[in-house]
Amino acid sequence: MELSAAIENRRSIRKFKPDQVPDDHIKAILEAARLAPSGSNLQPSRYVVIKSQEAKAKLAEHTLPFVTKAPVIIVCCTDSQVWSTAPERWTELKGSGAFNDNPLDVEKILEYKKKNPLDKETAKAYSWLNAAIAIDHMTLKAFDLGLGSCWIGILDREKTKEILELDDRYDVVALLPIGYPDQNPAPRPRLTLNEILLREL
Ligand SMILES: Cc1cc2nc3c(=O)[nH]c(=O)nc-3n(C[C@H](O)[C@H](O)[C@H](O)COP(=O)(O)O)c2cc1C
């Protein structure tokens, strides 16, 4: 499918057919997330894939009811410990030739980052920003495979963490229920280009 067609025609899907989602489709969706860009290539996103009725039933009390009717739910998380992997990631990037055309003093950047660590809230915001990009990749890939999904921000994140027995280092960002659509929604309203374009210089 053309990327433009996917961007134009993807909708949030809130009603799913009971048909199972093939494992290779789930893998392809996770692969789309894995390929998403991230700041400093830190790749903070982590996922839990839920297919079992038992786990869905436990989640049901802590999010919107339709979510747990999806055959698959991907719980999208971030790992706060990736910040300590920055030296590895930057060195890896340099080794891959990322800065060949625009040389960067990686040692200096790392030294600066070490001396000026981000505060907890800013670090979390950056991680969630990266998670959002990966989630968008997943919604588009799901659509490309004939599947529907809906980004879910309404959930009890702490309870979800408890149910999934996730360590404190992880943050739950969103749920992504996925399945074959049992609805064909019209495009949802959007602001016009004039309303979102502040200025052209
Ligand atoms: C960050 C974020 C959080 C969202 N949370 C929810 C949610 O909790 N429940 C829900 O039904 N839809 C949720 N949505 C879906 C939006 O309502 C939807 O994207 C928007 O209305 C536009 O519709 P469309 O995706 O079909 O174009 C969320 C979307 C985003 C990007």
User: Could you give the domains of the chain?
Assistant: 3-81+120-196 (3.40.109.10)
Tokens matching residue 34:
């894995």
Distances in Å between the Cα of 18 and the Cα atoms of 21, 26, 75, 113, 178 are 9, 16, 19, 49, 11
pLDDT one-digit tens code per residue, 51-76: 999 999 999 999 999 999 999 999 99
Strands (DSSP E) found in 34-124? 45-50, 72-79
Ramachandran region, residue 108 (left: φ > 0; alpha: ψ -120 to 50; beta: rest): alpha
CA 50/CA 70 separation, integer angstroms = 10
- Return the pLDDT at 1: 76
Q: How far is the CA of 90 from the centre of ligand 1 (A)?
A: 34
Average pLDDT over residues 178-184: 98
Q: How far is the CA of 149 from the centre of ligand 1 (A)?
A: 10
Using the predicted structure, report yes or no on whether residue 27 has a pLDDT greater than 90: yes
Using the predicted structure, report yes or no on whether residue 111 has a pLDDT greater than 90: yes
pLDDT one-digit tens code per residue, 151-168: 999 999 999 999 999 999
Using the predicted structure, report yes or no on whether residue 114 has a pLDDT greater than 80: yes
The reply to whether ligand 1 has any atom less than 6 angstroms from the CB of 64 is yes
- Return the pLDDT at 72: 98
Q: Do 81 and 169 meet the contact criterion of CB atoms below 8 Å apart?
A: yes
The reply to whether ligand 1 has any atom less than 6 angstroms from the CB of 83 is no
Using the predicted structure, report yes or no on whether residue 18 has a pLDDT greater than 80: yes
Average pLDDT over residues 180-184: 98
The reply to whether ligand 1 has any atom less than 6 angstroms from the CB of 12 is yes
pLDDT one-digit tens code per residue, 70-90: 999 999 999 999 999 999 999
Positive or negative torsion for Cα 158, 164, 167, 169: negative
The reply to whether ligand 1 has any atom less than 6 angstroms from the CB of 153 is yes
Q: Do 185 and 12 meet the contact criterion of CB atoms below 8 Å apart?
A: yes
Q: Do 161 and 172 meet the contact criterion of CB atoms below 8 Å apart?
A: yes
